Structures are given as structure tokens and as C-alpha cells.
């Protein structure tokens, strides 16, 4: 049952750096989030004007997915199993602020964490299983168990799973593509290892 | 995949503080929707809001009313009712699956004495788990308006590999100023009580509720039982806030769920739809149902009774579906007048008796998500 | 092109996050929705907010938006006729 599925590719975005399969592919000293995200967008030469209307969480999701799906073809049923700690609170606060004068529909639409799954689905034409989990910290066990259940029961043949967190302007992204082809065995240990790599210490939120 | 049996449940809503009270109210055609004066909205609107005095009175019997938020009190009351009927349940081996779209979002505007961290859903999970001493870390889902039903699917999918035998699935959300402002900015709130599938429908009514259900892979002793035998979700990949005009994701979800359940559309005896009463949602659903060959199946929406309870809705409405199946009764689709969607549907217009063997529960949500659940009734 | 036309284009570019666009990129009679600028339903809702926020115009029926938001010209004309700010 275990080691039946494998991690094909993964991406990390944190502290101004983007890593793909362990290789640094982009870095920036830009501290302001919107500008940093725009730099990444331009670096990747993504031509998708809708990007600029998205909230920070969705932009991060598109950046991560773009890197993965450029090298690994997604299929219509590639499931999305993503998690974080802050839900959409970063954007929720902005919407709340707008309600003091004129509530903004463009902000309200992003006040749900699963909207990023919708944005990824639209861009890459995925009509697949979605699940957005919230946890205190990166929960490798849950991601592994749930993704594996979808794969084993053949509800899907591949899963993009991981962590996509944004709070107080700080982002922490770890996404990986899992399917049957032999590569890095998909397990709780391997997920933890990849998530913690290139970090000084494992990310922890209190 | 194994069947997931639906055992005891509890509903805390404006219609009552137990499933029994809720079912009785629905049977009598009583709606929880009440007129709300415009606060910061231009127009009046209707919403199903739980009376805080009644809630505190009920909660004071199990905990301190100042220590918990409104949402937490709703959830804790619901879970307590379920646990009280299952005193032998080993909580160290029971998973807790909590589903909500916005959690304690009312604290964003009025934090009271609660710390900012209470806004985090993981903190909400801890509060619930610690109250009952669940040993396992709660599994928390936040997936728009399919959350409550997705919780059942997640329980089945995760538990199927043997990680747990039993789980308490909870779905809850509030009618908060946050959400009222949001839907108002979308021009999506009806000034009247919502009218699902009707010609005059013009928007949603909001609602709040907490629903909890014990689910298990162990066959219950009662030969009359309801189980989840098929579940699927699929994204429309069309728009983040408007449904696909062809009902693509919902259609796909229904097909996959029926296939997994090994039944055809003709076998479905009852369909509990999402039916939010927006022009677009109900139209999309009618198209998806038609494409799936479900146009003859008796169908209702419960939004006329509860309003749209967001993260709670699909779980709450699954509980009502379960009891419909156990009691062989169909409930009318409240506030339905004349059919106002382009495809014909068999909307239930008055309560009636019917033996139901298979039922379908569907839900759709922002972000283009859709969900279909197939329930089976084993009769005595 | 009046000041209102330019002002409107600047507001739309800012409010709708039309990145890297200048007022000169939007012509006065090009369709705002569908082909042309390609705005969507959420943008339409934001334009309703813009009408109230910047010009004090509250649409009694949001469906009116369909006729008003056809083009910059149409919007400017409607605003001239109905503005309270």
C-alpha cells in the first residue's frame, strides 16, 4: 500500500526565494508582497492578466502551480489538496476594512481559502476533486493520507498537494505533484523532509 | 470503498436545539427566516438567526457562556448531544472533522474579550477538541458551501484505510456582518424570504446553524440504517463566483457519485438540492440535474426553512435527508411558487409519504466547487 | 475626451486592477464587457460601487448596469446626467 505513489516534482516559495525540485530558480530582495509577487510573475513570463485581480493567496497558488505544470502536464482530474494555517484571513482583513466605507465585491470573493483552488482549476482547466484543510502547522500525515485515499480509490490519477500560507505579509508555499510514476516515494517522511529543506528550521506558527 | 454509516446527529438552529425539534418544525412548514431591518444594507433582508438568549440558556447547562463564542456554543451543544447518545464512544480513537467557511469571523469586527488567535480555524478546532477531550488533532475543512457535505466524504475517504473507525463530523457557520456585507455587495440578498427554483426568486437568505453527526464504518445494530455509498466532487473550472452555465462540475460529481454507488439515476428516490435561490445557481442545478436524468426525481431545497447556512448547509441538509429516508417522508420545498428554471423539475410541493431507498444530496460553492453524495437506506 | 472620460478610465484601471494599462489603452466606445476590455461579473459589481463611491449614484436596480457599462462613453453620459457628487 505505501510507496505505491511518488512525488514527481515540488516547489517552495519562501523568504524571497523560489526553489523547484531543490534548485533555486529565482530570488528577490523585494519585501513588499504585491511587488514580490509581480516580480515572480514577470520572471516566469506568465501571461495572465487576471493574476493582478487575485488576492495574495491565489497569486501564490498560481505561481506555484505554474512552475509545476510547466514541467509536468496536468490532467483534467488532477486533484487539489491544499492546506494552510491562516485560511484567507489576510484578505478577510482587507475586506473588513472596505466595509467601513464601501464593501468591495472583488475583495469579498477572495474571503474563502478554497478560491485559490478555483483559480488554479480555471487556469489549468482542472475539473477535479478539491479539498482545503486548515491546520496549525504543516500536517504531512493528513496530506499524505488524504491524497493517497484519492489515488488508491482511483478518484484521481494525480494530486497537487501541499501548504499555501500567507499571514502578516509572510508567505510559505510548498506544493508537490504526486502520481504513480516512480520517483521520490510519497510518504509522510518524504513530505516533511522536502517541506523543511531550504529552511533554517521547520516553519512553526503560534 | 467501504460504506460509511450515518449514526446519531444533532442540529442547533433557529428551528430548534435538536434534530427532533428541527424535523417537527419542517413538518409543520415553520421557517426559521425572519425579517431583518437594514443595518448597513440598503434594503431589508431575511435571515435565520439563532436567538442568543436561548442559546446561552441551553449552553449554561454544559459550560460557561463567557468563555465561548456564539459559534463555539452552537458547535459544542451539537457535539454534546451526539456524544450523550454514545457514552461508550472512545474519544481517543474518534476523529473530529470540523467544517466551516468563516469560523469566528464575527470577532474581526467585535473581538470582545477573545484574543485575535480565535479567528484561526485551528484555534476553533482546539476549543472544540479540548472541551470533549478528543485526543486526535481535529481535521478542519474550509471549502466554501460544500464544506459540510465534503466533511462526510472526507470521513469516508480517510477512514476507509483504517485510520479511524468512527468520526464526529461537524458543520457550522454564523450570519455575521462580514458575510451580510459581502453578499450584499454581490447584490445577492433577496429582500424577501428566498424562493428556491421559483420564477420570482431573486437572491439568497442567509442562515446560521451547527450540525453534528457520528459516522462509523462499523455496521450499526439497527437493521434500519442509512449509509454513504458514493461521493464525488468536481470543480467547474469556469468562474470563481458564478456557476458553470452547463452545470459541468455538478454534473460530473453526480455521475461519479452514482457510478461509485453502482446505481443509475432512475433508482434515486429523492434529491436534496443546493437551491440557494439565486437566479444563476438554481438554473445551473436544473441543467445539471436534467443532464443526469434526474428530472422526475422528487426534489426540494431546504434554504426556505434555514436560509443558506454556508459551511453547515450540506451537512445539515444531509441530516434532514437521512431522517426523510428513515421515516419515509418527503418535505415540501418551502416558498416554491411557479417553476422558474429552464429545465423541468419535480419540485416537492407538499409533504408526502414515500419509501426512499437511495437519495442524492448535492451542493455547490464559491471557487467553482461541487459535491454529490449518494445515501442508501437499509430497511428493516 | 473630457476630464470625466480620463478620470473614469483611471478609476477603472485602479479599482479593477488592470495592471500595466494606461487611459490611452482604453478607447471611449470599445465594449467594456465580453470582447474588448473583457471585464466580468465581479468587475460589474465593482463598477456599481464606483458609481456610488465617486459620483454618489446609487443604482436602484443592479440590472441597469448592463445598459450603463457598455462603454466609457455610455458610462460618462450616465454619470453626467445622474451624479450627485
- Cβ contact (<8 Å) for A99 and B178? yes
Output the average pLDDT for chain B: 97
Architecture of the B4-216 domain: 3-Layer(aba) Sandwich (3.40)
Lowest mean pLDDT among A77-86, A195-204, B365-374: A195-204
Percentage of chain A with pLDDT > 70?
A: 94
Strand partners, B206: B47, B308
Look at residue A113 and tell me whether its pLDDT is greater than 80: yes
Max CA-CA distance within chain C?
33
Confidence of residue A146 (pLDDT cuts 50, 70, 90): very high
Identify the pLDDT of residue B122: 98
Q: Are B82 and B8 in contact (CB under 8 A)?
A: yes
Task: Please write down the HEC assignment for all residues of chain B.
Answer: CCCEEEEEEEEEECCECCHHHHHHHHHCCCCCCEEECCCCCCCCEEEECCCHHHHHHHHCCCCCCCCCCHHHHHHHHHHHHHHHCCCCCCCCCEEEEEECCCCCHHHHCCCCCCCHHHHCHHHHHHHHHHHHCCCCCCEEECECECHHHHHHHHHHHHHCCCCCCEEEEEEEECCCHHHHHHHHHCCCECCCCCCCCECCCCCECEECEEEEEEEECCCCCCCCEEEEEEEEECCCCCCCCCCCCCCHHHHHHHHHHHHHHCCCHHHCCEEECCCCCCHHHHHHHHHHHHHCCCCCCEEECCHHHHCECHHHHHHHHHHHHHHHHHHCEECCCCCCCCECCCCCCEECCCCEECCCCEEEEEEEECCCEEEEEEEEEECC
For residues B201-222, give the mean pLDDT.
96
- Cβ contact (<8 Å) for B161 and A149? yes
Rounded Cα–Cα distance for residues A54 and A110 (Å): 8
Of C15, C42, C53, the CB nearest to A109: C42
Output the average pLDDT for chain A: 94
Cβ neighbours of A117 in B, within 8 Å:
143, 235, 367, 369
Look at residue A141 and tell me whether its pLDDT is greater than 70: yes
Q: Are C28 and C5 in contact (CB under 8 A)?
A: yes
Strand order in the sheet with B34-36: B34-36, B45-48, B206-207
C-alpha distance from C24 to closest chain A C-alpha (Å): 18
Interface test with A, best of C17, C20, C50 (most A CBs within 10 A): C17
Cβ neighbours of C58 in B, within 8 Å:
42
Lowest mean pLDDT among A29-38, A192-201, B360-369, C49-58: A192-201
Confidence of residue C36 (pLDDT cuts 50, 70, 90): confident
- Cβ contact (<8 Å) for A142 and B178? no
The pLDDT tens digits of the residues spanning B86-110 come to 999 999 899 999 999 999 999 999 9
For residues C25-50, give the mean pLDDT.
90
Cβ neighbours of C39 in A, within 8 Å:
none
Rounded Cα–Cα distance for residues C51 and C58 (Å): 7
- Number of Cβ within 10 Å of residue B42's Cβ equals 12
Look at residue A34 and tell me whether its pLDDT is greater than 80: yes
* Residue A141: closest CA among A195, A63, A66: A195
Output the average pLDDT for chain C: 90
Cβ neighbours of A122 in B, within 8 Å:
237-240, 368
The dihedral formed by the CA atoms of B253, B254, B259 and B265, expressed in degrees to the nearest 10? -170
More confident residue, C34 or B321: B321
Interchain contact C17–A (C-beta under 8 A): yes
- Number of Cβ within 10 Å of residue B7's Cβ equals 21
Interchain contact B186–C (C-beta under 8 A): yes
Query: So where are chain A's domains?
Result: 6-196
The pLDDT tens digits of the residues spanning B153-181 come to 999 999 998 899 999 999 999 999 999 99
Look at residue A206 and tell me whether its pLDDT is greater than 70: no
Look at residue C1 and tell me whether its pLDDT is greater than 70: no
* Residue A18: closest CA among A46, A37, A45, A34: A37
Identify the pLDDT of residue A205: 45
C neighbour chains, 3+ CB pairs within 8 Å: A, B
More confident residue, B380 or B226: B226
For residues B19-32, give the mean pLDDT.
98
Percentage of chain B with pLDDT > 70?
A: 100
Q: Are B224 and B375 in contact (CB under 8 A)?
A: no
- Number of Cβ within 10 Å of residue C2's Cβ equals 10
Confidence of residue A3 (pLDDT cuts 50, 70, 90): low
Burial environment of residue B221 by CB neighbours within 10 A (0 to 12, 13 to 18, 19 or more): exposed
The pLDDT tens digits of the residues spanning B288-297 come to 999 999 999 9
The pLDDT tens digits of the residues spanning B233-277 come to 999 999 999 999 999 999 999 999 999 999 999 999 999 999 999
C-alpha distance from C53 to closest chain B C-alpha (Å): 13
Look at residue A198 and tell me whether its pLDDT is greater than 80: no
Q: Are A164 and A83 in contact (CB under 8 A)?
A: yes
For residues C48-53, give the mean pLDDT.
95
| Superfamily of chain region C3-82 | ACP-like (1.10.1200.10)
Identify the pLDDT of residue A20: 97
Cβ neighbours of A101 in C, within 8 Å:
53
Identify the pLDDT of residue A1: 46
Q: Which residues contact A110 (CB under 8 A, 6 or more apart)?
A: A54, A55, A57, A58, A88, A91, A95
Query: So where are chain B's domains?
Result: 4-216, 225-378
Strand partners, B213: B9, B169
Rounded Cα–Cα distance for residues B171 and B169 (Å): 7
Look at residue C7 and tell me whether its pLDDT is greater than 80: yes
Identify the pLDDT of residue A202: 47
- Cβ contact (<8 Å) for B187 and C58? no
Could you tell me which CATH class the domain B225-378 is placed in?
alpha beta
Confidence of residue A136 (pLDDT cuts 50, 70, 90): very high
- Cβ contact (<8 Å) for A155 and B256? yes
Quick one: fold of A6-196?
A: Peroxisomal Thiolase; Chain A, domain 1 (3.40.47)
Interchain contact C4–A (C-beta under 8 A): no
- Cβ contact (<8 Å) for B105 and A92? yes
Q: What are phi and psi of C65, to 5 degrees?
A: -50, -35
Percentage of chain C with pLDDT > 70?
A: 99
Confidence of residue B40 (pLDDT cuts 50, 70, 90): confident
Of C41, C58, C62, the CB nearest to B242: C41
Amino acid at each position: 500500500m505505501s510507496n505505491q505513489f511518488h512525488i514527481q516534482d515540488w516547489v517552495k516559495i519562501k523568504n524571497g526565494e523560489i526553489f523547484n525540485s531543490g534548485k533555486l530558480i529565482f530570488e528577490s530582495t523585494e519585501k513588499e508582497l504585491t511587488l514580490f509577487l509581480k516580480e515572480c510573475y514577470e520572471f516566469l513570463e506568465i501571461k495572465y492578466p487576471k493574476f493582478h485581480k487575485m488576492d495574495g493567496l491565489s497569486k501564490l497558488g498560481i505561481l506555484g502551480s505554474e512552475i509545476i505544470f510547466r514541467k509536468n502536464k496536468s490532467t483534467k482530474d488532477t486533484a487539489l489538496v491544499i492546506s494552510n494555517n491562516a485560511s484567507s484571513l489576510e484578505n478577510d482583513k482587507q475586506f473588513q476594512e472596505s466595509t467601513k466605507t464601501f464593501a468591495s465585491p472583488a475583495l469579498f470573493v477572495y474571503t474563502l481559502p478554497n478560491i485559490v483552488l478555483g483559480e488554479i482549476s480555471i487556469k489549468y482547466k482542472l475539473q477535479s476533486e478539491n479539498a482545503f484543510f486548515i491546520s496549525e502547522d504543516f500536517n504531512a500525515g493528513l496530506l499524505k493520507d488524504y491524497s493517497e485515499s484519492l489515488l488508491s480509490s482511483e478518484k484521481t490519477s494525480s494530486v497537487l498537494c501541499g501548504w499555501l500560507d500567507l499571514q502578516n505579509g509572510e508567505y510559505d508555499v510548498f506544493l508537490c505533484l504526486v502520481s504513480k510514476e516512480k520517483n521520490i516515494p510519497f510518504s509522510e517522511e518524504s513530505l516533511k523532509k522536502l517541506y523543511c529543506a531550504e529552511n533554517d528550521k521547520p516553519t512553526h506558527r503560534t | 470503498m467501504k460504506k460509511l454509516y450515518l449514526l446519531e446527529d444533532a442540529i442547533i438552529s433557529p428551528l430548534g436545539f435538536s434534530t427532533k425539534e428541527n424535523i417537527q418544525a419542517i413538518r409543520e412548514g415553520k421557517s426559521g427566516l425572519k425579517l431583518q431591518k437594514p443595518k448597513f444594507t440598503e434594503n431589508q433582508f431575511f435571515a435565520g438567526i439563532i436567538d442568543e438568549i436561548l442559546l446561552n440558556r441551553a449552553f449554561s447547562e454544559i459550560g460557561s457562556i463567557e468563555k465561548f463564542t456564539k459559534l463555539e456554543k452552537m458547535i459544542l451543544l451539537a457535539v454534546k448531544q451526539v456524544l450523550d447518545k454514545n457514552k461508550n464512544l472512545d474519544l481517543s480513537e474518534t476523529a473530529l472533522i470540523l467544517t466551516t467557511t468563516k469560523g469566528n469571523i464575527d470577532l474581526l469586527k467585535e473581538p470582545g474579550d477573545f484574543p485575535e488567535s480565535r479567528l484561526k480555524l485551528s484555534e476553533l478546532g482546539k476549543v472544540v477538541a479540548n472541551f470533549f477531550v478528543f485526543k486526535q488533532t481535529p481535521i478542519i475543512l474550509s471549502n466554501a458551501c460544500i464544506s459540510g457535505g465534503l466533511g462526510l466524504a472526507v470521513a469516508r475517504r480517510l477512514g476507509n484505510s483504517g485510520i479511524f473507525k468512527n468520526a464526529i463530523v461537524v458543520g457550522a457557520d454564523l450570519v455575521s456582518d462580514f458575510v451580510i456585507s459581502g453578499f450584499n455587495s454581490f447584490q445577492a440578498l433577496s429582500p424577501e424570504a428566498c424562493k428556491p427554483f421559483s420564477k420570482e426568486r431573486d437572491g439568497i437568505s442567509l442562515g446560521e446553524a451547527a450540525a453534528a453527526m457520528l459516522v462509523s464504518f462499523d455496521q450499526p445494530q439497527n437493521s434500519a440504517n442509512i449509509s454513504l455509498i458514493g461521493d464525488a466532487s468536481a470543480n467547474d473550472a469556469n468562474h470563481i463566483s458564478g456557476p458553470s452555465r452547463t452545470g459541468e462540475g455538478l454534473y460530473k460529481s453526480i455521475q461519479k457519485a452514482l457510478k461509485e454507488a453502482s446505481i443509475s439515476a432512475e433508482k434515486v428516490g429523492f434529491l436534496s438540492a443546493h437551491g440557494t435561490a439565486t437566479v444563476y445557481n438554481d438554473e445551473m442545478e436544473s441543467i445539471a440535474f436534467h443532464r443526469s436524468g434526474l428530472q422526475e426525481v422528487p426534489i426540494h431545497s431546504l434554504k426556505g426553512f434555514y436560509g443558506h447556512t454556508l459551511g453547515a448547509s450540506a451537512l445539515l441538509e444531509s441530516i434532514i435527508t437521512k431522517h426523510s429516508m428513515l421515516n419515509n417522508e418527503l418535505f415540501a420545498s418551502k416558498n416554491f411558487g411557479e417553476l422558474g428554471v429552464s429545465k423541468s423539475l419535480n419540485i416537492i410541493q407538499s409533504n408526502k409519504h414515500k419509501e426512499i431507498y437511495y437519495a442524492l444530496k448535492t451542493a455547490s460553492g464559491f471557487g467553482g466547487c461541487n459535491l454529490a453524495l449518494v445515501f442508501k437506506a437499509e430497511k428493516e | 475626451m473630457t476630464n470625466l472620460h480620463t478620470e473614469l478610465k483611471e478609476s477603472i484601471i485602479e479599482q479593477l486592477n488592470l495592471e500595466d494599462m494606461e487611459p490611452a489603452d482604453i478607447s471611449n466606445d470599445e465594449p467594456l464587457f465580453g470582447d474588448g476590455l473583457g471585464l466580468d461579473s465581479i468587475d460589474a459589481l465593482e463598477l456599481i460601487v464606483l458609481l456610488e463611491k465617486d459620483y454618489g449614484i446609487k443604482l436602484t436596480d443592479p440590472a441597469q448596469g448592463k445598459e450603463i457599462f457598455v462603454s466609457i462613453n455610455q458610462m460618462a453620459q450616465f454619470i453626467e446626467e445622474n451624479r450627485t457628487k
